[in-house]
Amino acid sequence: MNEAVIEKSSRSPLTWLKKHSAQAAAYSGLLVCIIFFSIVTPMTGESIWSINKLSTLMQNVIVLALMSVGAVFVYALGSMDISIGKQVGLYATLVVVLGNATGSLLGGIVLSLVISVVIGAVNGAAGEVLHIHPIISSLVFMMVLTGVSSITYNSLGSRNVALSGVDVSIFRQTWFMLLALVVEVLVVSYLFYYTKLGKNAKAIGANAVSAQQSGINLIRYKMLAYIIMGVCVVLASLFQMGYTASASDSTGTGFEMNVMVALILGGMPLSGGMRSRISCAIVGSFTYALLDVGLPMLGVLPNQVFVIKAVMFLVVVVLTCRKRGGTLPR
């Protein structure tokens, strides 16, 4: 009788809600945004679902979603990379500069992929080899890439470089954006849920010591997690570059924080582990993009938009990312 009661209790909606509070909060937040902006924005003269605004919404969400989906691997480790924004700036610049020189995007894409693998491997291995938190190595890369960007644009004699001779209009096509996002989600989801890469990344985030004692090579799987994210960042940089057919010394600035906010809004635990999900990146990115597009339509000033996002971010963190008997995770 007691076993039957316990089993029935474990299946109750309240028990499920407690176990999946982060997911419930994330999906509820997205649903509230959809309903709110669907009702309110038409009163301003244009619905957020109009062709014009829908195109803007997709352009806003594509770069963030592509980065966030890849970043799930790193956040599952309980880590983060704050050099993402500067990486986007570097890759976009390389594609534009080499595209102008060769008349093709291929050279810039290949070089960007090589650099992303190197940066990912160093960020992934540095923590274990040097016994430091991986965020330290990503901070170093952020500073180095900032310097490289400054030197590059000083040598070009301009803070902005435009792509010429190469048609990149396909990167602004909604169908192509959706196709790229769907393909990336399918590939990364397979790696995350059905291979050792994702399972071991979550195991490391849950308890690195136990994972290592179980035979998991921490350096190898941390490197692979960062490399996967790096490849996704390269893909995101192509759409960022294609949106304006140019790059500048400010391209990608602040993207690392946008990724963090999007993932937290999507219900991603800061400590990583087994509760990490690809859906966090998708839900959070669309919620973030809805706020970005919808709030200005209501007359909210840019600075006020940041305040609203910050408040929402804080509320979600407090409600979903606290550990029992303690404060926020590491």
Whether the pTM exceeds 0.85: the reply is: yes
Q: Is residue 174 part of a domain?
A: yes
CATH number of the domain that 172 lies in? 1.10.3470
Q: At a CB cut-off of 8 Å and minimum separation 6, what does 125 contact?
A: 219, 222, 223
Q: Is residue 235 part of a domain?
A: yes
Which domain covers residue 180, as residue numbers? 22-320
**Per the structure, how many domains does the chain have?**
1
Q: How far apart are CA 26 and CA 31, in angstroms?
A: 9
Bridge pairing between strands 246-248 and 160-162: antiparallel
CA dihedral 6, 277, 279, 250 (to 10 degrees): 150
Q: Is residue 11 part of a domain?
A: no
Q: How far apart are CA 45 and CA 48, in angstroms?
A: 10
> Could you give the count of Cα atoms lying within 13 Å of 17 in the half-sphere of its Cβ?
6
**What tokens were used for 175?**
């169908």
Q: How far apart are CA 189 and CA 260, in angstroms?
A: 19
pLDDT at residue number 320: 56
Q: Is residue 5 part of a domain?
A: no
**Rounded average pLDDT per 10-residue block, the chain, 330 residues:** 49 62 80 92 88 86 95 92 94 95 94 96 89 86 92 90 91 92 96 94 91 91 95 96 92 90 87 88 93 88 78 68 47
Would you give the distance in Å from CA 209 to the centre of its chain?
Answer: 27
List Cα–Cα distances, 35 to 17, 42, 64, in angstroms. Answer: 22, 12, 22
Q: Is residue 17 part of a domain?
A: no
Q: Is 307 exposed, middle or buried (0-12, 13-18, 19+ CB in 10 A)?
A: exposed
Q: Is 157 left (phi over 0), alpha (psi -120 to 50) or beta?
A: left
Q: How far apart are CA 182 and CA 179, in angstroms?
A: 5
Q: Is residue 16 part of a domain?
A: no
Q: Is residue 325 part of a domain?
A: no
Q: Is residue 54 part of a domain?
A: yes
Q: How far apart are CA 265 and CA 138, in angstroms?
A: 23
pLDDT at residue number 6: 46
